[in-house]
Structure 1
Amino acid sequence: MSDLSTEFRLPSGCPSCGSHRMQVSEVKNPDDKVFCASCRRFVCLWHEAESALEHGPSSETEALIEKVTNRKSE
């Protein structure tokens, strides 16, 4: 991933390492690839990540973590 990327937190973790921190290009086109910020594994496409963010976290604790983590990127 290039330096022109944005980090955010997904409700679901990376299948490889479990990290919730992800990276996507700043452009955020629907077909942009989302990578795990920890292990750099491809996780999903941006439009899939947007859908996961819209459906929200699975618990109140996850919701609070995401609110704080994703606040700076809004």
Structure 2
Amino acid sequence: MSLSEDFRLPVACPSCGSHLMRVSQVKNPDDEVHCASCHRFICLWHEAQTVLKKGPCSESEALIEKAVNRVNR
């Protein structure tokens, strides 16, 4: 059983370009978000929530995000 959850951010990892991120299942505001591919620290969970609330910058990004985040929940 995994203690973390994957989700997709509209902002890509600066190291590898992946949009798939990982956060603990608890999701405390100060939990760290890491790239699911290269494990680089990206931001804190409360910062990721702000980005997710802003939404993607294009309709195609929105469709991809909706599909990926729905599957991983």
Give your verdict on TM over 0.5.
yes
- How many residues matched? 72
Specify the SS of the correspondent of 2:64.
Answer: helix
Superposition TM-score, scaled by structure 1 size: 0.93
Q: Distance in 2 between matches of 1:73 and 1:29?
A: 18
Q: Distance in 2 between matches of 1:72 and 1:14?
A: 20
Q: Are residue 57 (structure 1) and residue 56 (structure 2) matched?
A: yes
What letter matches 1:42 in structure 2?
F
**Superposition RMSD on alpha carbons, in Å?**
0.9
Gaps of 5+ in 1: none
What letter matches 2:49 in structure 1?
E
Displacement of 1:50:
0.4
Superposition TM-score, scaled by structure 2 size: 0.94
Shift >3 Å, 4+ stretches: none
Gaps of 5+ in 2: none
